[in-house]
Amino acid sequence: MNCGIDFYIGYSPERINPGDDVHALTKITKIVAGMNDETTERLAELYGLITNVYKAKDIRTAEAAKVIENIQRDLNIALMNELAIIFHKMGRDKLFCKQKPLLKMLTPFFCFAKRNISLVKLSF
């Protein structure tokens, strides 16, 4: 079998979190790319049956988008951990739970502080 003749390579990075109804497969934009334009189009058609699709320039670009997304998530978690430590030292643990407008961009991560800082202490 020969790649590009008998089979083609396509890629779509995983972008969902199990149990996260806000970012379920049907609610996110799926990034797709193939080894050529025809493969990219076929992937776009397939995923287009389920959700919105963004056709990346190539497979490396699609993977780069996933790497950037992972870095953003990791930075958000690290920021919340640091803020939880600082606010805990200030006696402001409840700030995380009650001030939701402060958490708009970090909504998936405010549960760390809701669980009374113990999870945060395990992370450093």
Between residues 4 and 93, which one has the greater pLDDT? 4
Judge whether 3 and 34 are in contact, CB under 8 Å: no
Q: What would the two tokens of residue 88 be? A: 């805990």
Interval 14-52: pLDDT, tens: 877 777 787 788 888 999 999 999 999 999 999 999 999
Interval 90-106: pLDDT, tens: 877 665 554 454 444 44
Q: Is the pLDDT of residue 58 over 80?
A: yes
How large is the average pLDDT for residues 53-73?
93
Determine the 3-state secondary structure of 33 from DSSP: strand
* Residue ranges covered by each domain of the chain: 8-57, 62-124
Residue 83, pLDDT score: 82
Query: Helices then strands (H, E): number in the chain?
Result: 5, 3
Interval 102-123: pLDDT, tens: 444 444 444 444 444 433 333 3
